[in-house]
Structure 1
Amino acid sequence: MAPHPSPFLDPGTCAANDTLGIIQLRRDHLIPAVLSSTTDSDYAEGKVENTRFGSFPHSTLINQPWGTQILASAVDTGSRGQKGKKRKREKDDEGDATPGQDAEESRRDLAKAVTASSGFAHLIPPTPETWTLSLPHRTQVVYTPDYSYILQRLRVRPGDHIIEAGAGSGSFTHAAVRSVFNGYSREQAAQPPQQIEDGDEARIGITMKTRKRLGHVYSFEFHKPRAEQLKAELEEHGLGALVTVTNRDVYHDGFCVPAGEDGKLAPDADVIFLDLPSPWLALKKLTRSLPSQAVLKAVSSSDPSTPSADTSATTPQLPAADEPFRSPLNPKGAIRICTFSPCIEQVTKTVSAMRSLGWLEIDMVEIMAKRLEVRRERIGLQEEGLRGANPSPASVHEAVQRLRDVEGRAHVFHSLQKEKQEVIMRRAEAKKRGEKVAPLKEELGDGKQKVNFEALPPSKHDRLERAKKDLEKREIFKEGRLVHRTESEIKTHTSYLVFAVLPREWSKEEEEKARKKWS
């Protein structure tokens, strides 16, 4: 099991070995990398992340404070691996090297990274937000604008148990773990008790007793390769003890999992999130008590795509009499659910099934997230050469004046060129007649005596120099118009969110007991 705490929960002050780090090249371009100091790589510098902004060996990233600007390194990408592969073949032929000796030799052979002339990136800690933007997409993911609203609307808090069906790429999984985390049990901690100090117990939340209900995420995925990949990623990220990934068809097999180490039944869920093609079929497995056959038929008949003649074939059968019914829900409180559906037809079927199964406070929401950029817009020819401005004419007067300046300097230039051409032609005719002519330079002169440069319009070089001098006295933060514009693109996709609440079961005995207590 990966060491705790996870960098998603407590990244610390610096990037550590064998933990996840995010290399930020641009605002919207992030690269995740599990940092490693080993030389199990084709490069002499060890593991290297090659990007369009340069190469970044992991040795230059480990033990660096989060937020540090990392300069690119000069890595030979053309002859990579030739010496390393040859050395490995020689060791394999000898057959007398032990794994410990190989590791020691690899550490000695690790080349020191040399800083390149250009290129840099920033090293930032992993969060659910940065992981969502950089994770390898196996399916369509739930982006930050959606899952942040979902977790807030479902009132997720530390200690809750969440059922997630349709894990996909694991974007919502990482966000859910952070929301429910309230510590590790002693059994979940990777270190043995004698290696955990008292200060560390308080820092990472290790609890000695099991009375406190620890948060947990129960994630279900139908596609086996995706489930295995998600489980491997969670182990790498140090979240394996907080998430139970199950490869299962929840439509038929439900959401119950074997009892945990404490003997309590699982998932014992407080919150449910369904990102499934047919969430109404999974709702039949999310009940507090055994539903009747009439209710199951009503739920199946609410599906418009199911012919009435085939209703009995699609209706789930009740479990056998010798099989005790087991609910995956927490019996001590109300259950909150959210379904994630891209089509309104799916919403219609889901709402019909919820009403048949006793869900209340049914509500549908569509997230239309927009990010507004507020800034000052400076327009005018006086902004030429300055950063963050639009050096175009702000009025007709400025445009006409600039044209006059350009034409005025062009007129002087062409007149000098014409005069020079006339002098050259006169010299040629004089040479034909055999007359003696003075040197061309003496006859033309430098031309400055004939041109009054102070009266000429300023050149582009003069304008740029004057703009730089004026910039020292200007208060740019007060100039221009205050404008706001919508961001061109934001990472999200349109879907319909259906929220509902399943109240706690209330018996007559409990009602009478509450009446006596609170009357």
Structure 2
Amino acid sequence: MLALDTSKKLSFSKLIASGDLVIVYERHETMKAVKVCEGSVFQNRFGMFKHSHWIGLPFGSKVYSNKSGYVYLLAPSPELWTLVLSHRTQILYIADISFVIMYLEIVPGCLVLESGTGSGSLTTSLVRAVAPTGHVHTFDFHEQRAASAREDFERTGVSSMVTVGVRDIQGKGFPDELCGLADAVFLDLPQPWLVIVSAAKMLKPDATLCSFSPCIEQVQRSCEALRTNFTDIRTFEVLLRTYEVREVKINSMRGQGGSPCQQPPCKRRHTNEGSDKQESVSSAIMARPSAEARGHTGYLTFARLRCSA
């Protein structure tokens, strides 16, 4: 689990117990979150796996099915949770999340405000960044979405360090009781410029704000609003290029002396009977760009609260 309470550090060293959430890993694009229950089974294309065989094993264990297939049981880190969570809204992925945490200067002990919660992908990573003594207040105007996020935070064990509120931040702003307490504010809203004044009141002196927007027109209006109370305004677009690393087979023809011979260009190669050439197969590790690389996700605009003279 990510964390049990605010007094414990985030650790995956403990053994798997009944009631724990594990990430069942087949390969990097095939994973599933499963709650371990005594007497339950997990089935996939590799066969049937009994949960009772998982209990007592350390996270990261390789376990076998009744058909000798295998999977890995991984701890639900924020990175893995981002890949398996239910998408109630469009989510932020690892490249944007890591950039946000770095530029917002979020460290253990920080108090962070977020709007809106959405699927909770970023929220889970924010909680790990502020743990074990910090706290995240996240808000969403949609009551059912907020309730689902609370359930997910319970499942991943971070609920003690995050408070989920139902509030129309664009219309009402952030709650007054948080005024001047926030080390960072993150906005993922259709009209973030409507919240800039409220966000400025929430932040400590010299603290930072980030706004995520998919369209450049939203960025332009947000930057105009930020100029009143903020400085050091910057906008970034984070593009990630993923490479696939795999083993490939290489065929070659060799003559009597062992030197490689050029293969015919056609797919089906023919050799004359009695030829002294032999075909050999070798393997090599190759890397190439993924055919389904993720492109534009959105623009990240950062700004620092201007200190009064």
Report the Cα distance in structure 1 between the residues aligned to 2:63 and 2:77, rounded to whole angstroms: 19
Residues 160 and 394 of structure 1: is their aligned pair in 2 closer, same or farther, counting only changes over 3 Å?
farther
- SS of structure 2 residue aligned to 1:142: coil
2:187 aligns with 274
- SS of structure 1 residue aligned to 2:90: coil
Greater fraction of residues in helix = 1
CA deviations over 1:399-447 (Å, ceiling 9, x no partner): 79952x2xx44xxxxxxxxxxxxxxxxxxxxxxxxxxxxxxxxxxxxxx
- SS of structure 2 residue aligned to 1:270: strand
1:64 aligns with 57
Identity %: 34
Q: RMSD in angstroms over aligned alpha carbons? A: 3.2
1:249 aligns with 168
1:119 deviates by 2.2
Q: Is the 8 A contact 1:372 1:486 kept in 2?
A: yes
Q: Is the 8 A contact 2:92 2:122 kept in 1?
A: yes
1:102 aligns with none
**Structure 1: gaps spanning 5 or more residues:** 38-45, 73-115, 184-213, 259-264, 289-327, 384-392, 410-455, 507-519
- SS of structure 2 residue aligned to 1:334: strand
Greater fraction of residues in strand = 2
TM-score, scaled relative to structure 2: 0.86
1:48 aligns with 41
Q: What does 1:5-44 correspond to in 2, within 5 Å?
A: 5=5, 9-37=10-38
| Match among 148, 151, 154 for residue 104 of structure 2 | 154
| Match among 283, 301, 314 for residue 196 of structure 2 | 283
1:374 deviates by 6.4
CA deviations over 1:469-490 (Å, ceiling 9, x no partner): xx7xxxx7xxx7x864212234
More deviation, 125-134/49-58: 49-58
Report the Cα distance in structure 2 between the residues aligned to 1:334 and 1:401, rounded to whole angstroms: 68
| Match among 42, 66, 71 for residue 121 of structure 1 | 71
Q: Which has the larger radius of gyration?
A: 1
Report the Cα distance in structure 2 between the residues aligned to 1:400 and 1:139, rounded to whole angstroms: 46
Report the Cα distance in structure 2 between the residues aligned to 1:364 and 1:286, rounded to whole angstroms: 18
Report the Cα distance in structure 2 between the residues aligned to 1:140 and 1:360, rounded to whole angstroms: 29
Q: Is the 8 A contact 1:164 1:219 kept in 2?
A: yes
Determine if the alignment matches structure 1 residue 344 to structure 2 residue 210. Answer: no
Residues 398 and 28 of structure 1: is their aligned pair in 2 closer, same or farther, counting only changes over 3 Å?
closer
2:225 aligns with 353
Residues 396 and 285 of structure 1: is their aligned pair in 2 closer, same or farther, counting only changes over 3 Å?
same
| Match among 369, 375, 393 for residue 240 of structure 2 | 369
Determine if the alignment matches structure 1 residue 329 to structure 2 residue 203. Answer: yes
The letter of the residue matching 1:345 is: E
- SS of structure 1 residue aligned to 2:291: coil
**Structure 2: gaps spanning 5 or more residues:** 255-259
Q: Is the 8 A contact 1:365 1:496 kept in 2?
A: yes
CA deviations over 1:207-226 (Å, ceiling 9, x no partner): xxxxxxx3110100111101
Q: Is the 8 A contact 2:3 2:10 kept in 1?
A: no
Report the Cα distance in structure 1 between the residues aligned to 2:155 and 2:127, rounded to whole angstroms: 15
Report the Cα distance in structure 2 between the residues aligned to 1:233 and 1:124, rounded to whole angstroms: 17
Report the Cα distance in structure 1 between the residues aligned to 2:11 and 2:62, rounded to whole angstroms: 21
Alignment coverage as a number of residue pairs: 302
Q: Is the 8 A contact 1:146 1:492 kept in 2?
A: no
Residues 489 and 500 of structure 1: is their aligned pair in 2 closer, same or farther, counting only changes over 3 Å?
same
Report the Cα distance in structure 1 between the residues aligned to 2:253 and 2:120, rounded to whole angstroms: 51
1:71 deviates by 1.2
Q: Is the 8 A contact 1:168 1:226 kept in 2?
A: yes
- SS of structure 1 residue aligned to 2:67: strand
